[in-house]
Amino acid sequence: MLPFEEAKLFGHNAIHALLAYLGANKGYKKMAEMKNDKEVMAIAGNAFINESGAALIKKYKNLGDGLFTEKGYKAFAEDLLSRMTNPYLDDAIDRAARDPQRKLGLNDRIFGTMQLALEFGVEPKNMAKGAAAGLIYYIKQNGGEQFSFDKLMTALNQIWDKQDSKYKTKLVELVKEAFYAD
């Protein structure tokens, strides 16, 4: 994958999904409703800048592109967070959250970003909050109403099926920590 494709997938797309899952679990219907939710926006901002951004900057620091600097990535993240929660776009949470089975794939938006972060020595605790929220959303979409960590793990096993990663155990630990933190 090219550097800018990674910034799109592990930055923009990952955080858009993370916001949608966090918002859905808070009962929001529109992405813009989260604009003034300090807790959700702090999680998204930290995941975007300090987890996704930190990993991508470490990976591509020698590229010489302004995006892959602290200042450049922070500006990128702040602009996109503002656009993702723009009330004039009237973006529905269900649209942004749709297809959680794909978006929660081991190498896709949320968990792909978490693996990238771990690879570069970044602990993706905020992304893990989005992952836990995404799994709850997935369970709800499949008719579930009760949530336990065991149910999240069952969902995760369904989604990941036969996919593997050297970070799988750590990803599960981070999701567990995020699930029990709330």
pLDDT in tens, 72-108: 999 999 999 999 999 999 999 999 999 999 999 999 9
In the chain, which ranges are continuous DSSP H helix?
3-7, 14-25, 38-46, 54-60, 70-84, 93-97, 100-103, 109-119, 125-141, 149-160, 168-181
pLDDT at 162: 85
Mean pLDDT, rounded, for 111-121: 98
Mean pLDDT, rounded, for 141-151: 83
Residue 66 predicted with pLDDT over 70:
yes
Residue 17 predicted with pLDDT over 70:
yes
CA gap 63, 169 in Å, rounded: 32
CA gap 124, 171 in Å, rounded: 9
pLDDT at 181: 85
Query: Could you tell me the sign of the dihedral formed by the alpha carbons of 104, 132, 49, 79, in that order?
Result: positive
Mean pLDDT score across all residues of the chain: 95
pLDDT at 116: 98
Mean pLDDT, rounded, for 26-52: 98
Task: Give the domains, in start order, of the chain with CATH numbers.
Answer: 3-181 (1.10.1040.10)
CA gap 25, 31 in Å, rounded: 12
Residue 182's pLDDT band, with cuts at 50, 70 and 90, is: low
Mean pLDDT, rounded, for 105-131: 97
Residue 28 predicted with pLDDT over 90:
yes
pLDDT at 147: 77
Mean pLDDT, rounded, for 164-171: 94
pLDDT at 120: 98
Residue 45's Cα: distance from chain center in Å? 11
